[in-house]
Amino acid sequence: MDVVSYLARIGLDASPAVNNDGLRRLQLAHLLAVPFENLHIARRQPLSLDRGKLYEKIVEKRRGGICYELNGLFAELLEALGFQVERLSARVFSQSEGTHGRPRDHLCLRVVLEGTPWLVDVGFGRGFRSPLRLDTRDWQDDPEGRFRVLPEGEELALERADGGGEPTPVYLLDPREDLALEAFEEMCLHHQTSRDSHFTLGPLCSIARADGRDSLRDGVAVRERGGRRDERQLASEAEVWGWIRDEVGLE
């Protein structure tokens, strides 16, 4: 872990303070610099959760990744900077099926600062841009919408509401156990190989911009800026990879 190089990768020239503001700066900088993408899976290249290989891929080769990769390496950076980090299992809600996924379907982070627990996530695509407090049940405003965390059995349910609409589930996180990154290897393999995983259906990529987002899924490129949304159907595989190269900067 070369902290200086990692910080430079996300556009920071100095280590932020180990406090709420520093944590917000780190999460936002990461989201603006490192895309959520499945391009290894789309090209049938295996993922690795080895920390050295994650660092090489994300920092040195300037690639992105899925949740296990992005949050896995981001946790290492936070710990190197002095933050107290826990790796938590989460189960993502499927809008099409109306159910949550399996345990360890998603990796998210809990960071405790002066006794206050914060939910941190740089590996969810369109998630939240600022850390969310886990010790309140109130709505929390974010540039990506309004979020709240409610108890649901032994888990915590993350919900989202956009534009005053009805709340929709995001994922259920399990706050009971701090897991090692290796504990997610089985589900990481599942998402690379199973027809049940949306990651195996084709290239997807999403990166936050200061005033919007660029994303690609199912061959549709979406550009969002200042509340305006433009969609474009890409006609060929060559166009898909060209968009990834030209719009996101990934080779």
Kindly list the catalytic residues: 67, 106, 121
DSSP letter assigned to residue 63: -
Q: Which one, of 124, 163, 123, lies nearest residue 143 by Cα?
A: 163
For every residue of 146-212, DSSP letters joined together read: EEEEEEETTEEEEEEESTT---EEEEEE-TT----GGGGHHHHHHHHH-TTSGGGGS--EEEEETTE
Which amino acid, one-letter code, is at 223?
R
Strand pairing report for 99-100 and 106-113:
unpaired
Alpha-carbon separation of residue 181 from 8, 104, 211, 239 (angstroms): 24, 10, 33, 35
Residue 19: Cβ within 10 Å count: 12
- Characterise 85 by phi-psi region: left (phi > 0), alpha (psi -120 to 50), beta (else): beta
Contact 110, 175 (CB under 8 A): yes
CA distance 133 to 75: 17
Contact 155, 170 (CB under 8 A): no
